[in-house]
Structure formats: structure tokens, C-alpha cells
């Protein structure tokens, strides 16, 4: 299988991140943020977003736009992304089953 070329498109969902001119990057995807930690990108902050339930977090890392783009491509083509996608699909199946039974 050929690698995906769009670094923001990962299997069944789109990576969400924003690079800032101050050398920080906000990542809105838990799985991608975990991959960045795994690849030794330094985390600067973690903030809960609003009063949503379930909670959503914004992870801020030190790094450049080029670094995050490269990591996004690596993540897209990694087993980590395939694993995370499988977990998402299983959770969706569980929710779907629970709604039918309830």
C-alpha cells in the first residue's frame, strides 16, 4: 500500500493541529499528541477546552511547522495510527450496540 501524502488525513479522521509563529504547536488529537511525545517533542502545556463532555484537551508542544508536518506524515503511515483507528472503530461499535440495547 502506498503511503498517504496528506499529513492531516489519517485513516478515518483528520488530524487537527495549528502551528504558531512563537514556535509552539497546538494539537487537538489525543492519539497524535501521544505520538509526538513518543517522538520526543517537548510538551509545553495542556488545557481543557470549555465545558464539553467528554472533556477535550488542547496539547501545546514546542516545535516548528515543518517538524509537526513531518511527524504527521510519519504518524499517518505508522502502526500507531492504525491502532488508534481500530480503537475508535471498536468504541463506535460499542456505542452503537449500547444504543440499540438501551
Surface-to-core class of residue 42, CB atoms within 10 Å of its CB (0-12 exposed, 13-18 middle, 19+ buried): exposed
Structural Rg of the chain based on CA atoms: 15
- Structural domain spans, the chain: 9-101
| pLDDT tens per residue, range 61-78 | 999 889 998 999 899 889
Q: Cα(37)–Cα(14) distance, rounded to whole angstroms?
A: 19
Pairing type for strands 13-14 and 9-10 reads antiparallel
Q: Taking the complete model, does pTM exceed 0.85, yes or no?
A: no
| pLDDT tens per residue, range 2-28 | 444 444 444 445 678 888 899 999 998
Amino acid at each position: 500500500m502506498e503511503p498517504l501524502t496528506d499529513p492531516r488525513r489519517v485513516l478515518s479522521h483528520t488530524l487537527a493541529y495549528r502551528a504558531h509563529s512563537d514556535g509552539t504547536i497546538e494539537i487537538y488529537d489525543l492519539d497524535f499528541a501521544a505520538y509526538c511525545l513518543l517522538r520526543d517533542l517537548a510538551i509545553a502545556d495542556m488545557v481543557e477546552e470549555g465545558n464539553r463532555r467528554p472533556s477535550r484537551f488542547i496539547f501545546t508542544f514546542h516545535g516548528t511547522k515543518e517538524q509537526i508536518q513531518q511527524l504527521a506524515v510519519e504518524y499517518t503511515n505508522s502502526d500507531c495510527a492504525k491502532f488508534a483507528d481500530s480503537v475508535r472503530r471498536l468504541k463506535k461499535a460499542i456505542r452503537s450496540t449500547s444504543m440499540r440495547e438501551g
